[in-house]
């Protein structure tokens, strides 16, 4: 036995996937990326329908120009944490812009979206506190619980009544509890019942943090997310987000209506001991945020695609992961071979999507995850719908 022996089941899964056809053993290699919607995979030019580039800003002219200018004037990296040499004017300005957009006093920018969850959650809840976490939360949320010294309790996915029962059992300790949910779940694309969660946390005096990674940019006034859409910003305590979806970069942020949140800079280990985002990333994110807040044209284009696509796959008989249309459409299968067959069929048609199989999926489901972008054209959407229509008859997804 060695330290590597425990990975034997993963080796078996990798071999099984690779043996099924063209499914890659580790990850799909992007040989070249040509635009927000096109790449070369295995020597073939394909349409990208498996990214999180919801607003298509990775190739936006202003974002690229801002990144290039930042490299030329500030260099390629900060080589230090925010507490050392990495606290540039751009970092501070971007934090102010996020805070001002929400109308809140505090914002902290992190080096990745993963670290935003890790850094904020683990610092907010410590020894003697409690974390109540949706069972289907992102890996970064559950890893934050591991880093925290708080007691972690999971509640059933999207179940306010189950959350209420767990808070009630805590008694007075509910007032030292942080409830962690996402507004839009990235695998199945389902929305959280945020109004009900807010009511429960207020009833028991707990605090609520909402991860808006996959909803920021697409929902609510100015794209600020589902909390803003529902008018809950004066009742939610913290909102997390990422740069790597709608903003087209890499990084993360946490905003709060509590001014004392700024003190986390002195307590959050992932913030204290990680190099700050490089100037190009900060500059590009600044340009992307400015573009997002300036108008609704990209959101309108995206939502037009979403409604057209969602209606089509439902008519074709696919089983979808959420009753609510959104930027993520999960086509769900009980059998792995059926999901692989659809994924391969789409790739053969020149369309890249995401194949997701257990153990990384909820309830042991097999999923082909399709995400749309404002950068897609009407012709792109037609191409996806046509390919799915041809494959539906072959795979009989409803029976799967």
User: Has domain 61-294 been given CATH number 3.30.2320.50?
Assistant: no
Peptide bond into 359 cis (omega under 30): yes
CATH architecture of residue range(s) 11-48+296-395? Alpha-Beta Complex (3.90)
Q: What global pTM score does this model have?
A: 0.93
**How many CB atoms are located within 10 Å of the residue 20 CB?**
14
What angle do helix axes 194-204 and 160-170 make, rounded to 10 degrees? Answer: 10
Residue range(s) of every CATH 3.90.1150.10 domain in the chain: 11-48+296-395
Summarize pLDDT for 341-397 with one digit per residue, the tens: 999 999 999 999 999 988 778 878 999 999 999 999 999 999 999 999 999 988 764
Query: Cα–Cα–Cα angle for 226, 227, 228, nearest 5°?
Result: 90
The phi, psi pair for 393, rounded to 5°, reads -65, -35
CB 344 within 8 A of CB 19: no
Nearest to 77 by CA among 66, 93, 88: 88
* Segments of the chain with pLDDT less than 70: 18-26, 396-400
Note whether 343 and 23 are within 8 A (CB): yes
The pLDDT assigned to 398 comes to 45
Q: What is the distance, to the nearest Å, from the Cα of residue 95 to the centroid of all Cα atoms in its chain?
A: 20
Residue intervals in the chain for CATH 3.40.640.10: 61-294
User: What pLDDT, on a 0 to 100 scale, did the predictor assign at position 25?
Assistant: 53
Confidence at residue 28, expressed as pLDDT on a 0 to 100 scale: 83
């Amino acid at each position: 036995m060695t330290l590597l022996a425990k990975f034997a089941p993963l080796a078996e899964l990798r071999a099984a996937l690779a043996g099924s056809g063209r499914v890659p053993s580790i990850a799909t290699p992007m040989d070249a990326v040509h635009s927000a919607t096109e790449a070369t995979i295995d020597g073939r030019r394909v349409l990208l329908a498996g990214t999180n580039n919801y607003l298509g800003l990775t190739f936006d002219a202003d974002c690229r120009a801002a990144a290039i200018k930042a490299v030329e004037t500030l260099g390629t990296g900060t080589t230090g944490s925010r507490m050392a040499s990495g606290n540039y004017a751009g970092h501070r300005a971007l934090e102010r812009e996020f805070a001002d957009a929400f109308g809140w006093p505090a914002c902290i920018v992190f080096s990745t979206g993963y670290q935003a969850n890790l850094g904020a959650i683990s610092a907010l809840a410590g020894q003697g506190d409690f974390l109540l976490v949706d069972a289907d939360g992102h890996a970064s949320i559950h890893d934050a619980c591991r880093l925290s010294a708080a007691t972690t309790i999971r509640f059933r996915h999207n179940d306010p009544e189950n959350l209420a029962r767990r808070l009630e059992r805590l008694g007075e300790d509910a007032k030292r509890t942080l409830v962690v949910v996402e507004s839009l779940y990235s695998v199945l694309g389902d929305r959280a019942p945020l109004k009900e969660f807010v009511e429960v946390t207020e009833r028991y005096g707990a605090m609520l943090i909402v991860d808006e990674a996959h909803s920021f940019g697409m929902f609510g006034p100015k794209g600020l997310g589902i909390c803003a859409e529902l008018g809950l910003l004066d009742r939610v305590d913290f909102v997390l987000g990422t740069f790597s979806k709608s903003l087209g970069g890499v990084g993360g942020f946490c905003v709060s209506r509590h001014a004392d949140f700024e003190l986390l800079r002195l307590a959050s280990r992932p913030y204290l001991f990680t190099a700050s985002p490089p100037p190009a990333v900060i500059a590009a994110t600044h340009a992307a945020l400015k573009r997002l807040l300036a108008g609704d044209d990209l959101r309108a284009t995206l939502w037009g695609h979403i409604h057209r696509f969602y209606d089509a796959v439902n008519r074709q008989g696919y089983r979808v992961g959420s009753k609510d249309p959104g930027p993520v459409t999960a086509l769900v299968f009980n059998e792995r071979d059926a999901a692989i067959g659809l994924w391969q069929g789409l790739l053969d048609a020149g369309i890249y999507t995401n194949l997701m199989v257990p153990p990384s999926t909820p309830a042991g489901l097999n999923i082909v995850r399709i995400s749309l972008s404002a950068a897609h054209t009407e012709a792109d959407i037609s191409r996806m719908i046509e390919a799915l229509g041809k494959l539906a008859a072959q795979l009989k997804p409803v029976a799967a």
